[in-house]
Protein backbone atom coordinates (compact mmCIF):
# COMPACT_ATOMS: atom_id res chain seq x y z
CA UNK A 1 0.00 0.00 0.00
CA UNK A 2 2.90 2.36 0.78
CA UNK A 3 4.27 1.76 -2.73
CA UNK A 4 0.84 2.50 -4.17
CA UNK A 5 0.57 5.82 -2.35
CA UNK A 6 4.14 6.85 -3.21
CA UNK A 7 3.64 6.11 -6.90
CA UNK A 8 0.42 8.11 -7.08
CA UNK A 9 2.07 11.03 -5.29
CA UNK A 10 4.96 10.95 -7.77
CA UNK A 11 2.53 10.91 -10.71
CA UNK A 12 0.93 14.03 -9.26
CA UNK A 13 4.15 15.89 -8.57
CA UNK A 14 6.04 15.36 -11.83
CA UNK A 15 3.66 17.20 -14.20
CA UNK A 16 2.99 19.89 -11.59
CA UNK A 17 6.66 20.73 -11.13
CA UNK A 18 7.17 21.08 -14.90
CA UNK A 19 4.56 23.86 -15.13
CA UNK A 20 6.66 26.91 -15.99
CA UNK A 21 4.31 29.39 -17.69
CA UNK A 22 2.57 31.19 -14.83
CA UNK A 23 1.25 33.99 -17.02
CA UNK A 24 -1.02 31.46 -18.74
CA UNK A 25 -2.97 30.54 -15.62
CA UNK A 26 -2.66 27.50 -13.39
CA UNK A 27 -2.58 23.72 -13.42
CA UNK A 28 -4.36 21.76 -10.71
CA UNK A 29 -4.14 18.00 -10.23
CA UNK A 30 -6.51 16.21 -7.86
CA UNK A 31 -6.23 12.57 -6.86
CA UNK A 32 -8.92 10.84 -4.79
CA UNK A 33 -8.04 7.39 -3.52
CA UNK A 34 -9.09 5.14 -0.65
CA UNK A 35 -5.42 4.18 -0.16
CA UNK A 36 -4.72 7.70 1.14
CA UNK A 37 -6.66 6.82 4.30
CA UNK A 38 -5.49 3.17 4.40
CA UNK A 39 -8.80 1.80 3.14
CA UNK A 40 -9.57 -0.53 0.25
CA UNK A 41 -13.33 -0.45 -0.14
CA UNK A 42 -16.06 1.24 -2.21
CA UNK A 43 -14.69 4.39 -3.95
CA UNK A 44 -11.39 3.26 -5.44
CA UNK A 45 -9.93 6.05 -7.57
CA UNK A 46 -10.54 9.46 -9.10
CA UNK A 47 -7.98 11.57 -10.99
CA UNK A 48 -8.67 15.02 -12.44
CA UNK A 49 -6.30 17.38 -14.25
CA UNK A 50 -7.51 20.97 -14.62
CA UNK A 51 -6.22 23.98 -16.48
CA UNK A 52 -7.55 27.24 -15.02
CA UNK A 53 -7.34 30.53 -16.90
CA UNK A 54 -6.50 33.66 -14.94
CA UNK A 55 -9.32 35.61 -13.34
CA UNK A 56 -10.53 38.48 -15.52
CA UNK A 57 -13.41 40.69 -14.43
CA UNK A 58 -14.08 38.12 -11.67
CA UNK A 59 -14.54 35.34 -14.24
CA UNK A 60 -12.43 32.39 -15.30
CA UNK A 61 -12.74 29.18 -17.31
CA UNK A 62 -11.64 25.73 -16.18
CA UNK A 63 -10.89 22.86 -18.56
CA UNK A 64 -10.64 19.40 -17.01
CA UNK A 65 -9.92 15.77 -17.85
CA UNK A 66 -11.25 13.22 -15.35
CA UNK A 67 -11.18 9.48 -14.80
CA UNK A 68 -12.89 7.80 -11.86
CA UNK A 69 -13.91 4.24 -11.10
CA UNK A 70 -15.43 2.05 -8.44
CA UNK A 71 -14.84 -1.62 -7.69
CA UNK A 72 -15.96 -4.22 -5.15
CA UNK A 73 -13.76 -4.68 -2.08
CA UNK A 74 -12.26 -7.90 -3.43
CA UNK A 75 -11.05 -7.15 -6.95
CA UNK A 76 -9.62 -10.66 -7.47
CA UNK A 77 -13.11 -12.19 -7.85
CA UNK A 78 -14.06 -12.54 -11.51
CA UNK A 79 -17.72 -13.46 -10.94
CA UNK A 80 -20.51 -10.92 -10.18
CA UNK A 81 -20.74 -9.85 -6.53
CA UNK A 82 -24.39 -8.76 -6.08
CA UNK A 83 -23.91 -7.48 -2.51
CA UNK A 84 -20.85 -5.39 -3.38
CA UNK A 85 -20.49 -2.14 -5.32
CA UNK A 86 -20.70 -2.68 -9.11
CA UNK A 87 -17.65 -2.29 -11.31
CA UNK A 88 -18.11 1.12 -12.93
CA UNK A 89 -15.98 3.79 -14.58
CA UNK A 90 -16.07 7.23 -16.19
CA UNK A 91 -13.61 9.08 -18.41
CA UNK A 92 -14.71 12.60 -19.30
CA UNK A 93 -13.87 16.14 -20.32
CA UNK A 94 -15.36 19.06 -18.38
CA UNK A 95 -15.80 22.75 -19.14
CA UNK A 96 -16.53 24.97 -16.13
CA UNK A 97 -17.25 28.68 -15.96
CA UNK A 98 -16.57 30.24 -12.58
CA UNK A 99 -17.68 33.72 -11.53
CA UNK A 100 -17.14 35.66 -8.31
CA UNK A 101 -19.94 37.99 -7.31
CA UNK A 102 -19.88 40.47 -4.43
CA UNK A 103 -21.53 38.02 -2.03
CA UNK A 104 -20.92 34.56 -3.52
CA UNK A 105 -19.14 32.46 -6.12
CA UNK A 106 -20.90 30.37 -8.78
CA UNK A 107 -19.46 27.51 -10.82
CA UNK A 108 -21.40 26.22 -13.84
CA UNK A 109 -20.09 23.08 -15.52
CA UNK A 110 -20.67 20.78 -18.48
CA UNK A 111 -19.21 17.26 -18.47
CA UNK A 112 -19.14 14.92 -21.49
CA UNK A 113 -17.43 11.58 -21.79
CA UNK A 114 -17.74 7.81 -21.72
CA UNK A 115 -19.17 5.34 -19.21
CA UNK A 116 -18.54 1.64 -18.65
CA UNK A 117 -16.33 -0.19 -21.10
CA UNK A 118 -16.07 2.93 -23.26
CA UNK A 119 -14.23 4.70 -20.42
CA UNK A 120 -11.37 2.13 -20.49
CA UNK A 121 -11.25 2.33 -16.68
CA UNK A 122 -10.54 -1.38 -16.43
CA UNK A 123 -7.47 -1.00 -18.65
CA UNK A 124 -6.32 1.99 -16.60
CA UNK A 125 -6.63 0.17 -13.27
CA UNK A 126 -4.97 -2.97 -14.62
CA UNK A 127 -2.03 -0.91 -15.93
CA UNK A 128 -1.59 1.07 -12.70
CA UNK A 129 -1.75 -2.07 -10.54
CA UNK A 130 0.85 -3.67 -12.79
CA UNK A 131 3.16 -0.67 -12.35
CA UNK A 132 2.83 -0.54 -8.55
CA UNK A 133 2.72 -4.31 -8.01
CA UNK A 134 -0.83 -4.49 -6.63
CA UNK A 135 -3.39 -7.25 -7.12
CA UNK A 136 -4.69 -7.62 -10.67
CA UNK A 137 -8.39 -6.70 -11.00
CA UNK A 138 -10.34 -9.60 -12.49
CA UNK A 139 -13.98 -8.49 -12.54
CA UNK A 140 -14.15 -5.69 -15.08
CA UNK A 141 -16.06 -7.90 -17.52
CA UNK A 142 -19.05 -7.46 -15.19
CA UNK A 143 -19.30 -3.70 -15.78
CA UNK A 144 -21.83 -1.81 -17.91
CA UNK A 145 -21.04 -2.40 -21.58
CA UNK A 146 -20.50 1.25 -22.34
CA UNK A 147 -22.11 4.45 -23.54
CA UNK A 148 -21.85 8.24 -23.65
CA UNK A 149 -21.97 10.46 -20.57
CA UNK A 150 -23.28 14.02 -20.17
CA UNK A 151 -24.00 16.17 -17.12
CA UNK A 152 -24.72 19.82 -16.30
CA UNK A 153 -23.86 20.97 -12.77
CA UNK A 154 -24.00 24.21 -10.80
CA UNK A 155 -22.47 25.04 -7.40
CA UNK A 156 -22.84 28.17 -5.26
CA UNK A 157 -20.56 29.14 -2.33
CA UNK A 158 -21.97 31.89 -0.12
CA UNK A 159 -19.85 33.30 2.75
CA UNK A 160 -22.03 34.04 5.78
CA UNK A 161 -19.63 34.83 8.65
CA UNK A 162 -16.03 35.98 9.02
CA UNK A 163 -14.12 36.63 12.24
CA UNK A 164 -10.60 38.10 12.05
CA UNK A 165 -8.10 37.48 14.84
CA UNK A 166 -4.62 38.79 15.67
CA UNK A 167 -1.65 37.71 13.59
CA UNK A 168 -3.58 37.29 10.34
CA UNK A 169 -5.70 34.42 11.65
CA UNK A 170 -9.26 34.14 10.42
CA UNK A 171 -12.27 31.93 11.04
CA UNK A 172 -15.06 31.89 8.48
CA UNK A 173 -18.19 30.02 7.49
CA UNK A 174 -19.81 29.56 4.07
CA UNK A 175 -22.94 27.82 2.83
CA UNK A 176 -22.97 25.75 -0.35
CA UNK A 177 -25.79 24.72 -2.64
CA UNK A 178 -25.89 23.00 -5.99
CA UNK A 179 -27.56 20.61 -8.38
CA UNK A 180 -26.77 18.37 -11.32
CA UNK A 181 -28.74 16.83 -14.17
CA UNK A 182 -27.54 14.09 -16.51
CA UNK A 183 -26.87 10.40 -16.99
CA UNK A 184 -23.89 10.44 -14.61
CA UNK A 185 -25.65 11.99 -11.62
CA UNK A 186 -28.96 13.78 -11.03
CA UNK A 187 -29.04 15.40 -7.59
CA UNK A 188 -29.49 18.44 -5.37
CA UNK A 189 -27.12 19.30 -2.54
CA UNK A 190 -26.46 21.68 0.31
CA UNK A 191 -23.63 22.04 2.80
CA UNK A 192 -21.43 24.11 5.10
CA UNK A 193 -17.70 24.93 4.85
CA UNK A 194 -15.84 26.06 7.98
CA UNK A 195 -12.22 27.29 7.84
CA UNK A 196 -9.66 28.47 10.39
CA UNK A 197 -6.12 29.57 9.79
CA UNK A 198 -3.79 32.09 8.23
CA UNK A 199 -5.23 34.14 5.34
CA UNK A 200 -7.65 31.60 3.76
CA UNK A 201 -8.51 32.50 0.14
CA UNK A 202 -11.58 34.53 -0.80
CA UNK A 203 -15.03 33.01 -1.28
CA UNK A 204 -16.32 36.12 -3.09
CA UNK A 205 -15.08 39.15 -5.04
CA UNK A 206 -15.49 41.52 -2.08
CA UNK A 207 -12.51 39.94 -0.26
CA UNK A 208 -10.23 39.03 -3.19
CA UNK A 209 -8.02 42.12 -2.98
CA UNK A 210 -7.41 41.50 0.73
CA UNK A 211 -6.62 37.78 0.43
CA UNK A 212 -4.22 38.36 -2.48
CA UNK A 213 -1.93 40.61 -0.41
CA UNK A 214 -0.49 37.76 1.65
CA UNK A 215 2.28 35.45 0.50
CA UNK A 216 1.38 32.48 2.72
CA UNK A 217 -2.05 30.95 3.24
CA UNK A 218 -2.33 28.03 5.66
CA UNK A 219 -5.61 26.81 7.10
CA UNK A 220 -7.69 23.88 8.30
CA UNK A 221 -11.15 23.24 6.90
CA UNK A 222 -14.19 21.06 7.34
CA UNK A 223 -17.04 20.49 4.93
CA UNK A 224 -20.34 18.85 5.70
CA UNK A 225 -22.83 18.18 2.96
CA UNK A 226 -26.11 16.43 2.27
CA UNK A 227 -27.07 15.30 -1.21
CA UNK A 228 -30.47 14.08 -2.43
CA UNK A 229 -29.67 11.72 -5.29
CA UNK A 230 -32.31 10.92 -7.87
CA UNK A 231 -29.90 8.96 -10.05
CA UNK A 232 -26.30 7.74 -9.71
CA UNK A 233 -24.94 5.79 -12.66
CA UNK A 234 -22.28 4.12 -10.51
CA UNK A 235 -25.02 2.59 -8.32
CA UNK A 236 -28.11 2.34 -10.53
CA UNK A 237 -26.58 1.31 -13.86
CA UNK A 238 -27.38 2.87 -17.22
CA UNK A 239 -30.53 4.91 -17.75
CA UNK A 240 -31.13 3.31 -21.14
CA UNK A 241 -29.14 0.07 -21.49
CA UNK A 242 -29.30 -1.57 -18.08
CA UNK A 243 -26.15 -2.96 -16.49
CA UNK A 244 -25.29 -3.97 -12.92
CA UNK A 245 -27.26 -2.03 -10.32
CA UNK A 246 -27.94 -1.85 -6.58
CA UNK A 247 -30.75 -0.46 -4.42
CA UNK A 248 -29.81 3.21 -4.26
CA UNK A 249 -30.07 5.20 -1.01
CA UNK A 250 -31.47 8.64 -1.95
CA UNK A 251 -29.96 10.74 0.85
CA UNK A 252 -26.16 10.71 1.16
CA UNK A 253 -24.07 12.79 3.57
CA UNK A 254 -20.37 13.70 3.52
CA UNK A 255 -18.07 14.81 6.34
CA UNK A 256 -14.70 16.07 5.18
CA UNK A 257 -11.75 17.54 7.08
CA UNK A 258 -8.39 18.65 5.78
CA UNK A 259 -5.46 21.05 5.56
CA UNK A 260 -4.60 23.50 2.77
CA UNK A 261 -1.64 25.74 2.02
CA UNK A 262 -0.62 28.22 -0.67
CA UNK A 263 2.73 29.94 -1.17
CA UNK A 264 2.94 32.89 -3.55
CA UNK A 265 6.12 33.50 -5.56
CA UNK A 266 7.53 30.18 -4.40
CA UNK A 267 11.31 29.73 -4.57
CA UNK A 268 11.74 33.39 -5.61
CA UNK A 269 9.79 32.84 -8.81
CA UNK A 270 6.52 34.17 -10.21
CA UNK A 271 4.94 30.77 -9.66
CA UNK A 272 2.52 30.07 -6.82
CA UNK A 273 2.24 26.61 -5.25
CA UNK A 274 -0.86 25.18 -3.59
CA UNK A 275 -1.42 21.98 -1.63
CA UNK A 276 -4.54 20.43 -0.14
CA UNK A 277 -5.13 17.15 1.67
CA UNK A 278 -8.48 15.93 3.01
CA UNK A 279 -10.19 12.83 4.36
CA UNK A 280 -13.85 12.22 3.53
CA UNK A 281 -16.37 9.93 5.21
CA UNK A 282 -19.51 9.24 3.15
CA UNK A 283 -22.67 7.54 4.37
CA UNK A 284 -24.21 4.50 2.68
CA UNK A 285 -25.04 4.95 -1.01
CA UNK A 286 -26.87 1.65 -1.57
CA UNK A 287 -28.80 -0.71 0.68
CA UNK A 288 -26.47 -3.69 0.25
CA UNK A 289 -23.49 -1.61 1.41
CA UNK A 290 -21.87 -2.80 4.67
CA UNK A 291 -19.40 -0.01 5.46
CA UNK A 292 -19.16 3.74 5.25
CA UNK A 293 -17.11 4.97 2.32
CA UNK A 294 -13.83 6.58 3.44
CA UNK A 295 -11.29 8.07 1.02
CA UNK A 296 -8.59 10.71 0.86
CA UNK A 297 -7.96 13.62 -1.51
CA UNK A 298 -4.59 15.06 -2.51
CA UNK A 299 -4.54 18.23 -4.61
CA UNK A 300 -1.57 20.13 -6.01
CA UNK A 301 -1.84 23.49 -7.80
CA UNK A 302 0.88 25.45 -9.58
CA UNK A 303 0.74 28.66 -11.58
CA UNK A 304 -0.84 32.02 -10.81
CA UNK A 305 -4.23 33.36 -9.84
CA UNK A 306 -5.81 30.09 -8.68
Under CATH, domain 2-303 is a member of which superfamily? Outer membrane protein (2.40.128.140)
Comparing CA positions, the residue from 19, 57, 59 lying closest to residue 272 is 19
Q: Identify the bridge partners of residue 133 per DSSP, sorted by sequence position.
A: none
Helices vs. strands in the chain: H and E counts, helices first: 4, 12
Q: Identify the bridge partners of residue 223 per DSSP, sorted by sequence position.
A: 193, 256
How far apart are the two ends of the chain, measured CA to CA in Å? 32
**Four-CA torsion 181, 36, 125, 274, nearest 10 degrees:** 70
pLDDT for position 179: 98
Comparing CA positions, the residue from 119, 133, 127 lying closest to residue 87 is 119
Alpha carbons 178 and 227: distance in angstroms, whole number = 9
Give me the residue spans of the domains in the chain: 2-303
pLDDT by residue, tens only, the chain of 306 residues: 434 444 444 454 555 444 445 457 999 999 998 777 766 566 678 999 999 999 999 999 999 999 999 988 888 998 988 888 899 999 999 999 999 999 999 999 999 999 999 999 999 889 988 888 888 989 899 888 889 999 999 999 999 999 999 888 999 999 999 999 999 999 999 999 999 999 998 876 665 544 556 788 999 999 999 999 999 999 988 877 777 888 999 999 999 999 999 998 877 778 899 999 999 999 999 998 888 889 999 999 999 877
Q: Checking DSSP bridges between strand 105-115 and strand 185-198, what pairing results, if any?
A: unpaired
β strands within the chain, DSSP E? 26-33, 43-52, 59-70, 88-100, 105-115, 147-164, 169-182, 185-198, 216-232, 251-263, 272-282, 293-303
Amino acid sequence: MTTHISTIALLLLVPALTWTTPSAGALRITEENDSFVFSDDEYTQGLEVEYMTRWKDDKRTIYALRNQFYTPEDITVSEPQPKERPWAGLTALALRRQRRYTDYTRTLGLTVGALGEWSRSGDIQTWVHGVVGSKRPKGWRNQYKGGPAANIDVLYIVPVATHKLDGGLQADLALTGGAGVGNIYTYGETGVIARFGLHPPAHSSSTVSISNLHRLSLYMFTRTGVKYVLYNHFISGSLFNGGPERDQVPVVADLQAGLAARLRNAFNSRVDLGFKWAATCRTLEYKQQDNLNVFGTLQISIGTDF
